[in-house]
């Protein structure tokens, strides 16, 4: 009965060549979840299909006891309860959120963490009160440079005991579309998405969208906590400080055509024209192009784009694939955005598996139905 942390919280590591998915990764995959790709058909992702990542445990929340503190470099520190928040001005935005680790488990070699394949995304209608007026009411003091957001979820990570916290540069925190959100798709915020209150920073990866928000602290020095300076960095070596993970890179996903095999999720579709559809998004909007390849990436064709769901909401795309031959075909899709970024067709590896927006590849077998008659 040894009481050291070493037993329960180990340093990060990269999978060995050929190493299968570990039990640690499976435990994370079982409780967190991606959006099933057929749910790309919904412009607003239904609750329960939106991707979910909970760093530690979903906190137990007592509505009567909950308070939001606004403190730090402000003239008038504030404490608000649920009622005080409800009477403030309201706003709502349709926003696509994506985990910075989406695509991690596709990397070679594979960084060991939440083992996302490609579905760590979702789009919801988030409602709440804008943050900027609240900060102005509190009175920003000269020298304010960042705003720190502290949640209520508590745990250990690589040996560091912590309550989840992330900061934003002051200019980002003062954007008019940054919300303290308490509704999702018109209903109360579900526990797993941060009830009673979460931060919403349209365009940024999920780590910035602090859930179970309890404290907003104006800082005069940049925050150097674990989730800011150790986790969520693009880096090649363990001792490399790396670059911060911020906005979402462009990505398009397609609804895998036809129907799946249960175990392999391999796809089979009937002969005839195939209408390929999906959604594309970016944190530097708008998405300017979606291209589809039906020959394994040799050639690319422009897909037709629908309107964006909102400034930071995904947009639908479609591409008619005329009567492919029977047999196995290799499809791929990639998006480009207003910043000039295009999804790569190969991986851009980094040690934490962040921002891997490599183009999606989907194999599909075209063949006639083999379902027994009458079943």
Token pair 């009160």 is at which residue? 129
Considering only 133, 136, 161, 238, the residue that binds a second copy (CB under 8 A) is: 161
Binding flag, residue 365, a second copy (CB under 8 A): yes
Instruction: Find the part of the chain contacting a second copy (CB under 8 A) among 126-134, 175-183, 190-198, 337-345.
Output: 190-198
Q: Which is nearer to a second copy, 18 or 307 (CB)?
A: 18
Q: Which is nearer to a second copy, 124 or 178 (CB)?
A: 124
Binding flag, residue 113, a second copy (CB under 8 A): yes
Residue-wise burial string across 225-238, b where 16 or more C-beta atoms lie within 10 A, e elsewhere: bbbbebbbbbeeee
SS3 labels along 137-152: HHCECCCCCEEEEEEE
Binding flag, residue 373, a second copy (CB under 8 A): no
Q: Which is nearer to a second copy, 243 or 295 (CB)?
A: 295
User: Radius of gyration (Cα) for the chain, nearest Å?
Assistant: 22
x/- map, 83-112, a second copy, by CB under 8 A? ----------------------x------x
Q: How many CA atoms lie within 13 A of 14 on its CB side?
A: 14
Q: Which is nearer to a second copy, 96 or 277 (CB)?
A: 277
Q: Which of residues 29-58 bind a second copy (CB under 8 A)?
A: 29-34, 36-39, 41-42, 46-50, 52, 54-58
Q: Which of residues 67-86 bind a second copy (CB under 8 A)?
A: none
Question: Could you tell me which residues come within 8 angstroms of residue 264 by beta carbon, excluding any fewer than 6 positions away?
Answer: none
Closest CA to 151 of 202, 203, 206, 97: 206
Contact 195, 258 (CB under 8 A): no
Q: How far is the CB of 271 from a second copy (least distance, A)?
A: 10
Q: Which is nearer to a second copy, 340 or 372 (CB)?
A: 372
Tokens of 174: 């003062």
Q: How far is the CB of 300 from a second copy (least distance, A)?
A: 20
Contact 203, 247 (CB under 8 A): yes
* CA separation, residue 241 to residues 71, 108, 224, 231 (Å): 29, 22, 12, 10
Considering only 166, 215, 267, 279, the residue that binds a second copy (CB under 8 A) is: 267
Q: Hey, which residues does 200 pair with through a beta bridge?
A: 179
Q: Please work out the total of residues on this chain that contact a second copy, with binding judged by CB under 8 A.
A: 87
Q: Which of residues 8-27 bind a second copy (CB under 8 A)?
A: 8-10, 12, 19-27
């Amino acid at each position: 009965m040894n009481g050291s942390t070493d037993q329960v919280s180990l340093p990060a590591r990269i999978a060995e060549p050929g190493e299968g998915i570990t039990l640690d990764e499976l435990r994370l995959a079982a409780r967190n979840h991606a959006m099933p790709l057929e749910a790309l058909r919904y412009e607003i992702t239904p609750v329960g299909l939106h991707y979910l990542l909970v760093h530690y445990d979903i906190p137990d929340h007592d509505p009567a006891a909950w308070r939001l503190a606004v403190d730090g470099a402000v003239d008038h520190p504030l404490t608000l309860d649920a009622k005080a928040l409800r009477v403030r001005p309201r706003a709502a935005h349709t926003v696509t959120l994506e985990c910075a680790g989406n695509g991690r488990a596709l990397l070679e070699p594979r960084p060991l963490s939440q083992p996302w394949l490609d579905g760590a995304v979702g789009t919801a209608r988030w409602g709440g009160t804008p943050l900027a007026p609240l900060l102005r009411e509190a009175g920003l003091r000269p020298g304010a440079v960042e705003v720190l957001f502290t949640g209520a979820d508590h745990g250990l990570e690589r040996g560091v005991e912590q309550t989840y916290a992330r900061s934003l540069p002051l200019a980002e925190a003062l954007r008019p579309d940054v919300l303290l959100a308490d509704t999702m798709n018109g209903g109360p915020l579900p526990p797993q998405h941060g009830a009673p209150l979460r931060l919403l920073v349209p365009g940024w990866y999920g780590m910035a969208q602090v859930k179970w928000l309890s404290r907003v602290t104006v800082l005069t020095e940049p925050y150097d906590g674990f989730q800011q300076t150790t986790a969520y960095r693009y880096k090649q070596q363990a001792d490399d400080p790396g670059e911060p993970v911020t906005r979402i890179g462009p990505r398009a996903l397609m609804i895998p055509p036809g129907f799946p095999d249960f175990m392999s999720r391999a796809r089979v579709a009937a002969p005839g024209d195939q209408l390929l559809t999906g959604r594309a998004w970016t944190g530097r909007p708008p998405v300017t192009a979606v291209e589809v390849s039906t020959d394994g990436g040799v050639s690319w064709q422009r897909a037709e784009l629908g309107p964006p769901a909102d400034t930071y909401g995904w947009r639908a795309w479609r591409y008619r694939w005329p009567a492919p031959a029977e047999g196995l075909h290799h499809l791929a899709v990639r998006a480009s955005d207003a910043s000039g970024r295009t999804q790569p067709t190969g991986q851009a590896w980094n040690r934490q598996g962040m921002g891997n927006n490599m183009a999606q590849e989907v194999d599909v077998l075209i063949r006639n139905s083999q379902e027994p008659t009458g079943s």
